[in-house]
Amino acid sequence: MSDCLVVVNFKTYQTAHGTSAEELALAMSGIDTDARMIAAVSALDLAAVVAAAPDLEVWCQHLDPVGFGSNTGWLHPETAIERGATGTLINHAEHKVSIEHVAMLLDQVPEGFEVCACAADVDEAMALAALVPTYVAVEPPELIGGDTSVTSADPGIVSGTAAAVREVSDEVGILCGAGVKTGADVAKAIELGSIGVLLASGVTKAEDYRAALSGLISEL
C-alpha cells in the first residue's frame, strides 16, 4: 500500500528529542516498507534530523503565517523549508490555532509543501477541509496518548470524517490518530476510510523503535 502515510509526531518526548530524535529518524528511514514514513519533529531538531536521515520526509509540528521581520518566537515557513521541511502539522490538539491561522498559512506556503490540519471531530474536519489542506487528521483529544485506539473506541468518527471530508473536497486526504499503537489499529484505520495514520507515543516511547515501527506496518 504505497499510498499509505505513517506520520510519527515526535512531540517533545524525552525519547524523541535531540540525539534521540536523530536515532528515531534513522530507524524510520531504515524500515523496509512501501508506506510513506514521515517524521514530524520539533523546530529545534529539524535541521539535525534532516541531516541525519536525508532520505526521510521531515515535517514541522507547527508553523506560523508570518513574514520576515519583527516576529519574535514565531516559526517562519520559509526558514523551515530552507532547513529541509517538506510539510507541517497545524492545529494539533496540543497547539490549537484559529481557522484564520490555518487559511493564512495555506496561502503562504509554496505549492508542493504539505499541510496536515488536525481536527478534534467531524465538524472541525469539515471546516478545515473547506480550506483544502493536503490532509485532515482526525484525533479525538481524549484518546491522544492513551492505550485505546480511536479505531476501536470510536470507529464512527474515522469513517464519518472520511465521508464528510470527501463531501467537501476530493483533494484532501484523511488521516487518523489517537491511541494507534498496533498493526491492527493501522489496518483498521485504512479500512475505515483513512489513507494513513498520525502516531506518537506508540513509537516515541518504544524501547525498540524499529520493532515498534515494523509492528505498526505489519498488516498493511
Distance in angstroms (rounded) separating the CA atoms of residues 140 and 119: 8
Q: Which of 17, 92, 114, 124 is catalytic?
A: 92
Cα angle, residue 188 at apex, residues 182 and 192 outer, rounded to 5°: 150
* Catalytic residue status for 82: no
**Residue 211 burial (CB < 10 Å; 0-12/13-18/19+)?**
exposed
- The end-to-end CA distance of the chain, in Å, is 6
Q: What is the DSSP string of 117-180?
A: EEESSHHHHHHHHTT--SEEEE--GGGTTSSS-HHHH-HHHHHHHHHHHHHH-SS-EEEEESS-
* Catalytic residue status for 100: no
In this structure, what are the phi and psi dihedrals at residue 212, rounded to the nearest 5 degrees? -65, -45
Q: Which of 139, 191, 207, 219 is catalytic?
A: 139
Nearest by Cα to 7 from 86, 93, 94: 86
> Beta 173-177 vs 114-119: how paired, if at all?
unpaired
Instruction: Map grid coordinates 497545524 to a residue.
Output: 90
Distance in angstroms (rounded) separating the CA atoms of residues 99 and 189: 26
Give the active site residues.
92, 139
